[in-house]
Structure 1
Amino acid sequence: MNYLSVENISKHYGERTLFENVSFGINKDQKIAFIAKNGSGKTTIMNMLTGKDEPDSGQVVVRKDIKMAFLAQDNNLQDELTIEESIFASDNDTLKIIERYEKALQNPEDEEAYQKAFDDMDRHNAWDFETQYKQILFKLKLEDLKLKVKSLSGGQKKRLALAIILINRPDLLILDEPTNHLDLEMIEWLEDYFAKENITLFMVTHDRFFLERVCNEIIELDNGKIYQYKGNYSYYLQKKEERIASENASIDKAQNLFVKELAWMRRQPKARTTKSKSRQDDFYVIKEKAMSRRKENVLELEINMERMGSKIIEMVKLNKKFKDKTILNDFFYSFQRGERIGIIGKNGTGKSTFLNILTHTLQPDAGKVIIGDTIKIGYYTQSGINPKPGQKVIEVIKEYGEYIPLTKGKIISASQLLERFLFDSKKQYDYVEKLSGGELKRLYLCTVLIQNPNFLILDEPTNDLDIVTLNVLENFLLDYPGCLVVVSHDRYFMDKIVDHLFVFRGEGEVEDFPGNYSDWRIYEDSVEPIKEESSKEKVSWKEKQVKAGLTFNEQKEFQKIEREIKDLEAKKKEIEHIFATTELNHEEIDKKSSELQKIISDLESKEERWFELSLKME
């Protein structure tokens, strides 16, 4: 059954054609992902599907008897309503029955009203519905139904808007970046929900794990044309590569034929026969095909990273609380060269607070953060870019200089740098407020990277970036030689980029996990709680296989010892260098000698333990 048809729609902005003659359909039970580069018309098409915008030509036809819902980036919730009132305000008969029953419970003296409400719940099978909607609220961490919308954070409002849509169970659900503002636990629950439910979806998302698990069809808008793939994300990648190879081969063939036909055209006299006129018409078709090579504007990232010394960043006995909520409890960590750390945890466990303490944006209650003299931090925050009113794109970059240094002594103009970040000469003179969400993120990323940081901190860098830009950013970060700290809910991104994780468990507990997100997910799924009321410890399946090598805890210990040995060796060299180059008095010599002896003793102890563990791995 067809729910919605897009028929030959086009959109132009002045001389710029966004897309032309685009057609596709959405049928019952399809779960479609819509993929396109930022600025190519994704949001415009989404707005046309939901009636917020109209095409210049063509039409969008929606089946009359279907119920459609749209989860946008912004919401239209009413500030003065509570969470519960917001849910009951939706146009749903079953919810009205549940609302009357909830009110009857609050007034038990009115037995007649209670009995009627109870009978209505029975007659309309509303009991199961009530259980389901309360489960949805629980999973999306919206249990306090008396909270007013105006007191909610941006993320809570997004989750409430999502909850209202899921509770109302529309026939067709249109979603714009549904995983933004959800923590990993919520995202995985939503994946399972969509994968199991018979619900028709059309969504824009950059979350490639989500695409892989939920979607059974992908529609791509590429260079103004629509391409459809009957499969998930892996299938799409394979078939797109085959399509582009086939298109390029066809263009190469047309170019060879064009050269021959061009020579024939130049030889022909002005008077033409019917036969030659037909060949002339064919020539222009061949010419158009030969000139249709894909315009692959590839984002290029290249920076001149500042030299990094031996001392990076040390976090010493950090403590942080907000009222009764503990964020950090005696946290210690010494960063090493080239470390790539991912930070995960539920919303509210302190991930962003940790980054703000790391960058001295926020002070800890106790402890200190010592930043090495050669360290230059680049901090990409969720708040994004903050342009001046009326500022143009190129003016944002020129604040850092007319010319920007790159690697190997090269320099580049502000305009050329913007072109590398996919802002053409016309776009560079647009006002910043006219940019799409993804373009704003790309411009902000540019401003962070041109400062040449050697310690890069990225807080949710993948939000609003298209998949093409994400792939380029991932490749850049894989080659980035500095230290990297990433907070992200994008599991695909984390798997490619990080070596180990800081897992924020809440109440000040931060676990250093040796592996990427998928490794951690396998570990979490395999642990079993010990069946004792007083114990909260977990046992890993890896720990049951001691004979196969190291246990999981020993693997963690092994990696930790390796880092500690590196740190101790660096401190040992530092003291030895002081002895070799600095004149010390007797007291200073005794002090440094004691320090050196302690370091040597610790090194011997840790190297001995490292050797024991390495023998078990053989």
Structure 2
Amino acid sequence: MLLSAENIQKGYGDRVILHDVSFYLERGDKVGVVGVNGTGKSTLLRILAGAEEPDGGTVSLDPGVRLEYVPQNPALNMEDTVLELVLRGLGSDARALAEYEAKTILTRLGLPQFDRPVGRLSGGERRRAALAAALVRESDVLILDEPTNHLDGDMILWLEDWLKRFTGALVLVTHDRYFLERVVNHIAEVDGGALYTYPGHYETFLARKAAREESAKASERKRQSILRREYQWVMQGPKARGTKSKERLERYEALREQTGPASAKKLELSSISSRLGRKTIELSHVSKARGGHRVISGFDFSLLRDDRVGIVGPNGAGKSTLLGLLAGTLAPDDGAVSVGETVKVGYFSQENPPMDPNQRIIDYVRDIGERIETADGVITAGQLLEQFLFPPSVQWSPIGKVSGGEKRRLFLLSVLAAAPNVLLLDEPTNDLDIETLTVLEDYLETFQGAVVAVSHDRYFLDKTARRLLAVEGDGTVTPWNGSYQSYLDQRAQSRRQSERPEKPKKEPQPPAPKVKKRLSYKEQRELDGIEDEIHALESQLAENEAQQSAQSSDYVALQQLTAEHEELETTLEAKMERWLYLLSFSEGN
């Protein structure tokens, strides 16, 4: 056991974040932490990393275990250069060995200027520098809070591969569903102060969570049925009540005191938009320079009334610049931007607008409107907040009391509630939880207007965008009619081809004569019995999977069963390869 946390309690004021939570981490565990914003994901990571003390419970790190932690907003020495930051704390020998790797990782993360002072980096660049520092240092436990934020598509693919090869234990919070599916082997969900752990990838988590919730509902239906029968028995008449069984009366009271599983509120919002005329936004031969470098050059574009456009490209290429031109927050250096008279833009920028920390949440929404028109009728500001998972008990709280993710959700609500007919979204997946993103994706499917989104989230773009604009960074904007994943694959293939060294031409050699290999007596005996061994391994795998389903609530047992499952799969794969090898040399081939 590398790290263990037992009976963790944590609250802020009268709000309980974590209640009697336990968590255990073994070498090789790669855990993705999910949950609605504000439920305590980042708090849990800070407690596991030792950056914050719990109100109760214990956290233990085995002696000699090296832990690296990257929070969402790392505290860095602004006087360091980028390379000094990454190598800080390493001895002279370790520093010499790590410098090449540090430069490689920094380049992959878009920070090739190694002598640049940290104080001159943007917020996203600082987070990438902190991530590079954690990856360079040898660690047994790696804890990452939203590591994919502020990474472009190429960087995310690279980090995905790096973490899959990482041999230590990993705990991370991320909204990237493809990332969760491909990197982690456990999901931990923070919900209502509790922690539910599921072995497997993200898809397995969704299935097992649905089964857990259905089981809880079935148990509640049974409790209600028993309670109704007991109530009828208790109410048979005052004359008989005095002679009734004391134990049965106590059982009835106990059943009545119980509470069933809380019905999870689903974030949902009916379409809110205003009428959009024939003309939307048009760019005519638009050019724009930034920092003396032209990022958009002679670009023509017409936004359709029901368009769904994704803007993609490397960090710093000019994606947000293009979105700013469409939003009207930036003026072109050359060319013209023409906007239709009925266009009402809703602009969800990367940074939240200034929010008064003392203003109550409900007043923030009331500033937009006390009563808001939706496709299903008029709703109040309070009802709208409830649909966005701000219950009445929270609505009267000051904005300064909620988490960063909840502020982000509140900003998104304010943009949608203003009834735009053109939605411009700049990195909407940053700092939003998966449930909010899922409903935003569903909302965009029925939104009566045009949507343009800058994003690096593969799942989000694959689900919402019908076409892409690839901003290349040299002034070129290239239309792309395929999926975002196909765009990334094409870029990766082009990069591999450009990096591949030219091989010297060899003189053609005559083919070597084929020599037929015959199996030895021992190999033939092995071939005769190997199919039975394969069948036995397949049966063991099926039995293991059945045991996992039966032990879905026992975390310790599930860990052992998952490890056995991985070992059986490895053994079966090796047997299959050996069988195919022997079969290729058997008689008759």
TM range (shorter): 0.7 to 0.9
Q: Does 1:55 align with 2:54?
A: yes
- 1:194-593 matches, within 5 Å, as 194-267=163-236, 271=242, 276-287=245-256, 291-388=259-356, 390-407=358-375, 410-524=377-491
Structure 1 residue 98 displacement after superposition: 5.7
Name the structure 1 match of 2:19.
20
Indicate conservation of the 8 Å contact 2:87/2:99, yes or no: no
Deviations 1:492-538 (A, max 9, x none): 1111111010011110111111132123234445669999x9xxxxx
SS at match of 2:315: coil
Q: Does 1:97 align with 2:93?
A: yes
Q: Quick one: distance in 2 between partners of 1:192 and 1:529?
A: 15
Q: Percent identity?
A: 39
User: Which deviates more from structure 2 when the two are superposed, residues 360-369 or residues 426-435?
Assistant: 426-435
Query: Aligned pair in 2 of structure 1 residues 467, 530: CA closer, same or farther (>3 Å)?
Result: closer
Indicate conservation of the 8 Å contact 2:265/2:389, yes or no: yes
Structure 1 residue 77 displacement after superposition: 1.0
SS at match of 2:39: coil
Deviations 1:143-185 (A, max 9, x none): 2221111111111111110111111121111111011111111
Indicate conservation of the 8 Å contact 1:303/1:450, yes or no: no
Deviations 1:70-97 (A, max 9, x none): 100111211111112222322x33xx22
Q: CA RMSD in A?
A: 2.2
Deviations 1:36-73 (A, max 9, x none): 21111222222221223332322222212211111001
Indicate conservation of the 8 Å contact 1:353/1:362, yes or no: yes
SS at match of 1:29: coil
AA aligned to 2:36 is K
SS at match of 2:124: helix
Q: Does 1:78 align with 2:77?
A: yes
Structure 1 residue 446 displacement after superposition: 1.0
Q: Quick one: distance in 1 between partners of 2:343 and 2:192?
A: 42
Q: Quick one: distance in 1 between partners of 2:297 and 2:249?
A: 79
SS at match of 1:426: helix
Structure 1 residue 284 displacement after superposition: 4.3
User: Which deviates more from structure 2 when the two are superposed, residues 358-367 or residues 261-270?
Assistant: 261-270
Name the structure 1 match of 2:43.
44
Structure 1 residue 230 displacement after superposition: 0.9
- Out of 112, 117, 135, the position equivalent to 1:143 is 112
Indicate conservation of the 8 Å contact 1:385/1:440, yes or no: no
User: Which deviates more from structure 2 when the two are superposed, residues 35-44 or residues 213-222?
Assistant: 35-44
Indicate conservation of the 8 Å contact 1:303/1:405, yes or no: no
Name the structure 1 match of 2:136.
167
SS at match of 1:213: helix
User: Which deviates more from structure 2 when the two are superposed, residues 440-449 or residues 35-44?
Assistant: 35-44
Q: Quick one: distance in 1 between partners of 2:216 and 2:59?
A: 29
Indicate conservation of the 8 Å contact 1:495/1:518, yes or no: yes
Structure 1 residue 270 displacement after superposition: 5.5
Query: Aligned pair in 2 of structure 1 residues 385, 528: CA closer, same or farther (>3 Å)?
Result: closer
SS at match of 1:506: coil
Indicate conservation of the 8 Å contact 2:285/2:334, yes or no: yes
Name the structure 2 match of 1:33.
32
Structure 2 segments unaligned to the other structure (5+ residues): 501-589
Indicate conservation of the 8 Å contact 2:87/2:102, yes or no: no
Deviations 1:157-214 (A, max 9, x none): 1111011111112111111101111111111100000001212101111111111111
Name the structure 1 match of 2:503.
none
Q: Quick one: distance in 1 between partners of 2:49 and 2:495?
A: 46
User: Which deviates more from structure 2 when the two are superposed, residues 384-393 or residues 24-33?
Assistant: 384-393
User: Which deviates more from structure 2 when the two are superposed, residues 419-428 or residues 152-161?
Assistant: 419-428
Structure 1 residue 277 displacement after superposition: 3.4
Q: Quick one: distance in 1 between partners of 2:321 and 2:333?
A: 12
Q: Quick one: distance in 1 between partners of 2:279 and 2:362?
A: 36
Q: Quick one: distance in 2 between partners of 1:489 and 1:374?
A: 30
Query: Aligned pair in 2 of structure 1 residues 140, 394: CA closer, same or farther (>3 Å)?
Result: same
Aligned pairs, number: 498
Structure 1 residue 9 displacement after superposition: 1.5
AA aligned to 2:149 is N
Query: Aligned pair in 2 of structure 1 residues 194, 364: CA closer, same or farther (>3 Å)?
Result: same
Query: Aligned pair in 2 of structure 1 residues 236, 288: CA closer, same or farther (>3 Å)?
Result: farther
Structure 1 segments unaligned to the other structure (5+ residues): 102-125, 534-618
Query: Aligned pair in 2 of structure 1 residues 363, 250: CA closer, same or farther (>3 Å)?
Result: same
AA aligned to 1:372 is G
AA aligned to 1:444 is F
Indicate conservation of the 8 Å contact 1:491/1:517, yes or no: yes
Structure 1 residue 389 displacement after superposition: 5.2
Q: Quick one: distance in 1 between partners of 2:396 and 2:353?
A: 17
Q: Quick one: distance in 1 between partners of 2:494 and 2:265?
A: 46
AA aligned to 2:80 is L
Structure 1 residue 425 displacement after superposition: 1.8
Q: Quick one: distance in 2 between partners of 1:73 and 1:476?
A: 28
AA aligned to 2:272 is N
TM-score scaled by structure 2?
0.80
